[in-house]
Structures are given as structure tokens and as C-alpha cells.
């Protein structure tokens, strides 16, 4: 059943920013969560609606603080990827397909666990599914922050570490866009009359590299570069988007202060904008205590569970940063997130669901 549902979900391609596709998928989730007893709210956003589903507690813990579950229904893959380089494929207990690992598999794990605890005592449960996680959740940050208020603990359904360990902290992640406006001119007849936006951008990226090199434990990836139009025209505009990862808030603050203070090196106009930001989620005693409880819950269903820090960022950065005890990586085991060989181990769909159900009833 879980595999059939996963195939349905992977078959509904949901690239970030495609509001029509994302909202159609949100319709599916809304119906499913309502069938499972949840009260569902749609939170409109221009690039796709977010969902919040509240499930009442049962038994003696019906009035306790809720558990918060964080997920997303957008993927990095464009419409058509399923019919092209990444068809759905089951082979030797491995399932391939766009978004199967990040994170349609996690959504199926969560739903299966909710089915398992439907008639068991547990705290109230709150599910938040966002539509723009893959670009840093710029429209969902306030929603996640608000829904985290008062939560007993938060759990993310992103992929786990390769060995199945959960994620106990994450590096901070910030997306920055550098835009340059130069002045167009004929590249041969009047080169001195132009100001090359591309040359300016290249020089600025070299400065960024120097800034990053001055700090330990910073990752920097120039993800896009655009500009110009013709080789016989001095380019009048150029831009780059950069992804930064930071191990701690102090380093993040220093690097971003330097990057946002960049100055032109020629007669060009320069604008630096922060597109999205997830602060560093650092290790804490509260998370270690939560991990110990999850380890014990895992033992109750015959599973060995561990935890370790992660460099990747997700919405759990926010809950961890806010001080809510947080763990991530409850999705199925696999590999190839954001890669054409994306895949999961089919058997771990049910295993992870059993673990999540045990956690829900134990906490």
C-alpha cells in the first residue's frame, strides 16, 4: 500500500514554483489528512499553498503540548523528468524516481504512521507541509515559526544520513542574489563607453571567494550566473545567485555582513539581496534528550536508531534555532537527493513508519 501511494505521489510532479501542480498535490494531501481525522488549513502563497493539519490527542495525553511534523511537497525536478531521465522504476528492492527520496517518501512514511496511531493514545499532532522548501521556504518561514510555538518537539521527514541515522543539528543556509547594472555600448566601436556588468560580477564573485576563505567551515556555491546577450555588445546587466552554508551564527553574521556590503569596482550599480535564510541549528541538551527517547522507542519496534549532525539545511533549522527539541531525517533510507540516481530502499518505508508510530505513542 505504501509503495502504491508513493508511486502515485511521485507520478504527480511538483517542481518548486509551479503553483498549479503544487496546489493539485495539496488537494490530495488535504483529502488524505482529513480522512485520517485531521483538521486541515490551506495557507495561500503565490508559488503554491502550504498545509497545516491538526490531529487531536487521544487518551490521557489529549491536552498535552503537540508534536510538530515538518514536510514539503515541492521537488527540484521540472515537469517531464518522470518521462525523461528519471522514470519510476522498482528493481531489487530499490525504487527510483524524481522526488522519491526528497521527499515524497517522507510524506508516505508520515501518512502511514498516522494511520497506525489512529486508535492509540498520543499527544495532539500538528503537520506542516510547505510548498517552497527547496528554495529555502521564503514564503513559509513565518508559518513554520508560528506553528512551532508551544510544540513539545519537532520532527522532519527529510532523508536521513546514509546509514539511517537521524539529524541532530544542521548548518545555517542563506541564498543571496548579486545583481549588477552596467552600461551597454558597441564592443568594438565604443568599448570605453560601456561598463561591463559581467566583468563587474566576475570581480565581485572573486571578492566573495576571498570573504569565504577568511572563515572556517563555510560552504559557498555559485548556483546560477546570467547576463549579457551578444558578443558585440558590452553587457549592461548580470546576476548570480549564491548558496552559503554556515556552521554557527557568528560566522554567518560576519560573512553575510561582508557580502551585503560589497562595493562596485567600476562604474556599475550593485545590489545584493538575501533571498532566503535558515539560521544554524546547533546541538543542544534538549535534542540529545529527545534522541534518547526516540532511540528507546526504536528499540520497542526492533530498530536501532542513532543521530549525528548534518550540513544540509531544512525547515527543522528554524525549530532547532528557536529552541524546540528537534530531530530530522525520518524519511526512508536511500541516496541521490537532487541527483538523477535518486532512490530509496523500498522496505524502509514501512520500517520508518513503524518507528514514527512508536515515537508518537511513546512521547
pLDDT in tens, 328-357: 999 999 999 999 999 999 999 999 999 999
Percent of the chain with pLDDT over 90: 97
Cell 546560477 -> residue:
224
pLDDT in tens, 29-58: 999 999 999 999 999 999 999 999 999 999
What's the average model confidence in pLDDT over 200-215? 97
Cα separations in angstroms, 39 against 25, 36, 54, 55: 17, 9, 5, 7
Sign, Cα dihedral of 124, 130, 136, 141: negative
Q: Is the distance from CB of 199 to CB of 266 less than 8 angstroms?
A: yes
Residue 270 has pLDDT above 90, yes or no: yes
Task: State the Cα angle at 154 between 149 and 160, rounded to 5°.
Answer: 155
pLDDT at 151: 98
- Distance between CA atoms of residues 119 and 44, nearest Å: 32
What's the average model confidence in pLDDT over 264-272? 96
pLDDT at 1: 64
Cell 508510530 -> residue:
357
- CA 314, chain centre distance (Å): 4
Q: According to the CATH classification, is domain 2-170+281-362 in 3.40.630.10?
A: yes
What's the average model confidence in pLDDT over 294-316? 96
Residue range(s) of every CATH 3.40.630.10 domain in the chain: 2-170+281-362
What's the average model confidence in pLDDT over 150-178? 97
pLDDT in tens, 58-86: 999 999 999 999 999 999 999 999 999 99
Residue range(s) of every CATH 3.30.70.360 domain in the chain: 172-278
Residue 189 has pLDDT above 80, yes or no: yes
pLDDT in tens, 119-130: 999 999 999 999
- Distance between CA atoms of residues 330 and 303, nearest Å: 13
Phi, psi of 244 (to 5 degrees): -110, 145
pLDDT at 80: 97
- Residue 318 three-state SS: helix
Q: Which three cell numbers stand for residue 191?
A: 568599448
- Distance between CA atoms of residues 221 and 2, nearest Å: 36
Cα separations in angstroms, 116 against 36, 69, 112, 259, 327: 10, 16, 6, 49, 21
State pTM to two decimals. 0.90
- List Cβ neighbours of 190 (8 Å cut-off, separation of 6 or more): none
Confidence at 312, pLDDT banded by 50, 70, 90: confident
Q: Is the distance from CB of 222 to CB of 240 less than 8 angstroms?
A: yes
Would you state the CATH architecture of domain 172-278? Answer: 2-Layer Sandwich (3.30)
Amino acid at each position: 500500500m505504501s509503495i502504491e501511494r508513493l508511486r502515485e505521489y511521485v507520478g504527480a510532479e511538483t517542481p518548486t514554483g509551479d503553483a498549479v501542480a503544487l496546489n493539485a498535490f495539496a488537494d490530495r494531501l488535504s483529502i488524505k489528512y482529513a480522512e485520517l481525522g485531521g483538521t486541515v488549513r490551506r495557507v495561500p502563497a503565490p508559488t503554491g499553498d502550504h498545509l497545516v493539519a491538526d490531529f487531536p490527542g487521544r487518551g490521557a495525553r489529549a491536552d498535552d503540548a503537540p508534536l510538530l511534523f515538518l514536510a514539503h511537497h515541492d521537488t527540484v525536478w521540472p515537469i517531464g523528468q518522470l518521462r525523461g531521465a528519471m522514470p519510476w522504476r522498482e528493481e531489487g528492492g530499490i525504487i527510483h524516481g524524481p522526488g522519491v527520496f526528497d521527499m515524497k517518501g517522507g510524506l508516505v512514511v508520515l501518512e502511514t504512521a498516522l494511520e497506525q496511531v489512529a486508535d492509540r493514545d498520543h499527544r495532539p499532532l500538528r503537520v506542516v507541509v510547505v510548498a517552497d522548501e527547496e528554495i529555502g521556504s521564503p514564503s513559509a518561514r513565518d508559518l513554520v515559526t508560528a506553528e512551532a510555538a508551544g510544540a513539545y518537539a519537532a520532527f522532519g521527514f527529510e532523508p536521513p544520513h546514509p546509514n539511517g541515522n537521524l539529524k541532530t543539528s544542521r548548518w545555517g543556509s542563506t541564498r543571496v542574489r548579486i545583481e549588477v547594472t552596467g552600461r551597454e555600448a558597441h564592443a568594438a566601436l565604443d568599448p570605453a563607453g560601456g561598463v561591463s556588468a559581467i566583468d563587474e560580477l566576475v570581480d565581485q564573485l572573486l571578492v566573495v571567494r576571498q570573504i569565504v576563505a577568511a572563515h572556517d567551515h563555510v560552504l559557498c556555491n555559485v548556483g546560477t550566473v546570467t547576463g549579457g546577450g551578444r558578443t558585440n555588445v558590452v553587457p549592461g546587466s548580470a546576476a548570480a545567485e549564491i548558496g552559503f552554508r554556515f556552521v554557527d551564527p557568528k560566522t554567518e553574521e560576519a560573512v553575510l555582513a561582508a557580502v551585503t556590503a560589497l562595493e562596485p569596482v567600476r562604474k556599475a550599480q550593485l545590489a545584493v539581496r538575501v533571498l532566503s535564510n535558515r539560521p544554524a541549528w546547533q546541538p543542544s541538551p534538549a535534542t540529545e534528550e529527545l534522541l534518547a527517547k526516540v532511540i528507546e522507542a526504536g528499540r520497542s519496534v526492533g530498530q536501532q536508531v542513532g543521530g549525528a549532525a548534518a550540513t544540509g539545511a531544512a525547515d527543522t533549522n528554524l525549530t532547532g534555532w528557536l529552541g524546540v527539541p528537534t530531530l530530522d531525517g525520518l524519511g526512508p533510507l536511500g541516496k541521490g537527493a537532487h541527483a538523477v540516481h535518486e532512490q530509496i530502499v523500498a522496505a524502509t518505508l514501512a520500517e520508518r513508519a513503524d518507528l514514527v508510530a512508536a515515537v508518537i505513542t511513546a512521547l
